[in-house]
Amino acid sequence: MVKLYVEGGGNTAELRAACREGFTTFMTQAGISARPRVVACGSRQDAYESYCIAVANGEKAVLLVDSEGTVAPEHQQPKEQPGQWRPWLHLEAQDGWDKPASAQDTDCHLIVQVLESWFLADRDTLRAFFGQGFQENALPAANRPIEDVPKNHVYSALEQATRSCKTKPAYSKGKHSFKLLAKIDPAKVMKASPWAKRFVEELKKKTTTPKLINLG
């Protein structure tokens, strides 16, 4: 079985369970039938280190972490062939992480720039989730590519858009992030985020069992 090592879940069992459930639901709704086992690792550093240990032990492992910033154009070329993009080079520059010797670029995936960036792709779900008082006009322009919005702007926009909601408190990563992840439409996220589309498509390839051809 493929294991997906993800950033998120903090240090409590409750949050890590919510993280696993959120990502599992997202993958199910994205059409990944043979879902990998989600390992909620907490910090991005812990996710990377846990992934490296898994690879060293010969496990089938995939890493998913926030990019934390814009991905350089040279790390996502050729543009029309995401399978050839170079996320490990981004993580080397961003975090000083080395690619494990046996790892491939298609084993590594980025949420650009943070998980909350995905939420901007599905404003219908945000509106329904937060209800009365949600101020959609506080979010970045709908036609702005979500991967171009700096992470701090994403956080502040969500907080501002939800601070006057009547039935829920203002957006909080711990309270809301994984509940929203389980509700957003993967199709909208994939359309808005090329890196999200790469993640889903490459994961489908890794988890699909090839059909045997009967030559008899």
> Which domain range does residue 193 map to?
3-114+179-207
Let me know whether 41 and 80 are in one domain. yes
Per-residue pLDDT for 216 more than 50? no
Residues 105 and 130 in one domain: no
Based on the domain organization, do 37 and 58 belong to the same domain? yes
Do 44 and 30 sit in the same domain of this protein? Answer: yes
Could you tell me if residue 140 is inside a domain? Answer: yes
pLDDT score at 92: 97
Considering only CA atoms, which of 106, 108, 123 is closest in space to residue 189? 123
Average pLDDT along the chain: 94
Would you report the helix, strand and coil content of the chain in percent, each value rounded to 5?
Answer: 50, 10, 40
- Whether residue 98 sits in one domain with residue 25: yes
pLDDT tens digit string along 48-86? 999 999 999 999 999 999 999 999 999 999 999 999 999
Q: Is the pLDDT of residue 39 over 50?
A: yes
pLDDT for the residue numbered 180: 98
Are 165 and 90 within one domain? Answer: no
Q: Which residues contact 139 (CB under 8 A, 6 or more apart)?
A: 120, 123, 126, 157, 158, 161
Give me the pLDDT at residue 11, please.
85
Distance CA(118)–CA(22), nearest Å, equals 13
β strands within the chain, DSSP E = 3-6, 37-40, 61-66, 108-111
Tell me the per-residue pLDDT of 153-195, one tens digit each, with 9 for 90 and over. Answer: 999 999 999 999 999 999 998 889 999 999 999 999 999 999 9
Q: Is residue 63 part of a domain?
A: yes
SS3 track for 26-46:
HHHHCCCCCCCEEEECECHHH
Q: Report whether pLDDT(37) > 80.
A: yes
Residue 213 in domain: no
Asked if residues 121 and 192 have their Cβ atoms less than 8 Å apart, the reply is yes
- Same domain for 33 and 102? yes
Radius of gyration of the chain (CA): 18
Is the pLDDT reported for residue 214 higher than 80?
no
Distance from C-alpha of 55 to C-alpha of 77, rounded to nearest angstrom: 26
Asked, for residue 145, whether it belongs to a domain, the answer is yes
Spell out the residues 6+ positions from residue 161 whose beta carbon is closer than 8 angstroms to its own.
Answer: 126, 130, 134, 135, 136, 138, 139, 171
pLDDT tens-digit profile of 117-155?
999 999 999 999 999 999 999 999 999 999 999 999 999
Whether 123 contacts 161, CB under 8 Å: no
Q: Are residues 144 and 203 in the same domain?
A: no
The secondary structure of residue 208, as a DSSP letter, is P
pLDDT at 8: 92
CB crowding 95-129: b at 16 or more within 10 Å, else e: eebebbeebebbbbbbbbbbbbbbbbbbbeebeeb
Asked if 97 and 193 sit in the same domain, the reply is: yes
Domains contained in the chain, number? 2
What is the model's pTM?
0.94
Query: What residue spans of 57-119 are helical by DSSP H?
Result: 87-95, 115-119
**pLDDT at residue 210, as a whole number:** 57
